[in-house]
Amino acid sequence: MPFYRNVHILPSGKTHTLRGAPDTFYLFEEGLVTPVNVALVWCSDCQDVTEGEIIESLEELDALIEEYGNPDSERYRSLKEVYK
Structure confidence at residue 19 (pLDDT): 66
d(CA 56, CA 23): 20
Q: In the chain, what are the domain boundaries?
A: 3-81
Short-list 39, 48, 45, CA closest to 9: 48
Structure confidence at residue 58 (pLDDT): 92
Q: What pTM, to 2 d.p., does this model score? A: 0.51
- Express as a percent the part of the chain with pLDDT over 90: 4
**Would you say how long the chain is, in residues?**
84
d(CA 56, CA 21): 21
pLDDT surpassing 80 at residue 2:
no
